[in-house]
């Protein structure tokens, strides 16, 4: 225990360099502990549910217009080689729209109420919850249901977007927080209902930089300009202590923290966001996600940079994974 504590504090001062980190950013359903012998298959998502559209305009999130132009994609300042962050390219994009806010619990509830849609976590019967949101007694019972590469993630029965920390939790007081425990397939279904789609990775990254080239973060190159917190990311010693100096241990409301120059909120931090693109030709079921989350820190998951990227299988869900929609102009 002492050795682990010293190691965690040592890592807090290290900068990631050319290795695949073990933060559990890409926790997938097929990477759970080998003692978990549970097998299950997802039911096919009904395409009819995806096409039913609530006519109430309040169900449609506000979008911002991103003009067609040449935008930076990737970087030459490579931090994590295995994430394929580079090289830097200047690519021409057509005009598009993207949600100003991450999709909230309130938004998603309108969708499910209108369509009776069931997420994959609901069908599967569980999802992944971070260690800080579980008490010690519960964690002891679930110790064989952790992710091997990231034991701070627990597979918890009854967890889904409505019950984000297990059956005894709810979203009554966090309706303006981003919806979590949604898979790529769930996000696609919601966006289709909105007559929209997920952003491509290039669109997402162009939107992230707010019209600038060579920006590390959505707001510039300094993580804390004028000592100001610009996004909800981890402060403290991962994974056991989050000082919450930015005001939040978990997710924050989708309208908080400063906008970037395109007017987007929380494009970095808060929750990871699904994109349309697959990770590699070898496995098209692995989908790219961008933006990092409230669990990211420079020492182990320096992925709240615009060029940073990670991935999950399209049926995976977790307590730090959400999305926003886009639409062609």
Neighbours of 267 (CB within 10 A): 32
Residue 103, pLDDT > 80, answer: yes
Residue 42, pLDDT > 50, answer: no
pLDDT given at position 30: 63
pLDDT given at position 5: 36
pLDDT given at position 27: 77
Poorest-pLDDT segment among 101-110, 143-152, 182-191: 143-152
Share above pLDDT 70 across residues of the chain, in percent, rounded to a whole number? 83
Q: What are phi and psi of 149, to 5 degrees?
A: -75, -15
Averaged pLDDT score across all residues of the chain = 86
Helix (H) / strand (E) element for 97: namely strand 96-99
Kindly tell me the sign of the dihedral angle through the C-alpha atoms of 81, 84, 85, 90: positive
pLDDT in tens, 158-177: 999 999 999 999 999 999 99
- What is the DSSP code string of 38-64? ----PPPPPHHHHH-----GGGSPPEE
Q: Average pLDDT, stretch 78-93?
A: 92
pLDDT given at position 24: 61
- What is the DSSP code string of 130-161? EGGGS-HHHHHHTGGGEETTEEEEEEEET-SS
203/29: higher pLDDT: 203
pLDDT given at position 14: 36
Report how far apart, in Å, the C-alpha atoms of 126 and of each of 21, 34, 144, 205 are. 25, 17, 14, 31
Q: Average pLDDT, stretch 269-294?
A: 96
pLDDT in tens, 136-149: 999 999 999 999 88
Q: What is the pTM of this model?
A: 0.85
Residue 127, pLDDT > 90, answer: yes
Helix (H) / strand (E) element for 207: namely helix 201-208
pLDDT given at position 298: 87
pLDDT given at position 186: 98
Confidence of residue 46 (pLDDT cuts 50, 70, 90): very low
Residue 45, pLDDT > 80, answer: no
Token readout for 74 is 């990737």
Residue 10, pLDDT > 70, answer: no
């Amino acid at each position: 225990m002492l050795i682990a504590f010293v190691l965690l504090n040592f890592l807090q001062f290290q900068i990631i360099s050319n290795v695949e980190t073990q933060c559990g950013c890409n926790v997938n359903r097929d990477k759970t502990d080998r003692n978990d012998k549970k097998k299950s298959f997802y039911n096919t998502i009904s395409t009819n549910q995806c096409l039913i559209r609530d006519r109430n305009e309040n169900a449609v999130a506000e979008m911002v217009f991103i003009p067609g132009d040449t935008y930076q994609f990737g970087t030459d300042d490579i931090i994590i080689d295995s994430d394929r962050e580079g090289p830097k390219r200047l690519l021409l994009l057509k005009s598009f729209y993207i949600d100003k806010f991450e999709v909230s619990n309130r938004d998603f509830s309108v969708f499910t109420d209108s369509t009776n849609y069931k997420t994959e976590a609901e069908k599967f019967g569980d999802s992944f919850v971070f260690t800080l949101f579980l008490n010690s007694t519960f964690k002891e019972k679930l110790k064989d249901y952790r992710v091997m590469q990231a034991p701070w993630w627990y597979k918890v029965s009854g967890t889904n977007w409505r019950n984000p920390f297990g059956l005894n939790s709810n979203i009554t007081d966090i309706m303006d927080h981003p919806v979590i425990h949604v898979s790529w397939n769930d996000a696609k279904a919601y966006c289709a209902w909105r007559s929209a789609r997920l952003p491509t990775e290039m669109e997402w990254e162009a939107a992230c930089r707010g019209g600038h080239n060579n920006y590390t973060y959505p707001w510039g190159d300094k993580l804390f300009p004028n000592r100001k917190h610009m996004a909800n990311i981890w402060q403290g010693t991962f994974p056991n202590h989050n000082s919450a100096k930015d005001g939040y241990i978990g997710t924050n409301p989708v309208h908080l923290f400063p906008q970037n120059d395109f007017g987007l909120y929380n494009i970095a931090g808060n929750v990871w966001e699904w994109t349309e693109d697959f990770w590699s030709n070898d496995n098209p079921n692995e989908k790219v996600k961008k933006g990092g989350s409230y669990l990211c820190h420079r020492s182990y998951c320096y992925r709240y940079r615009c060029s940073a990227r990670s991935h999950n299988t399209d049926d995976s869900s977790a307590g730090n994974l959400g999305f926003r929609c886009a639409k062609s102009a």
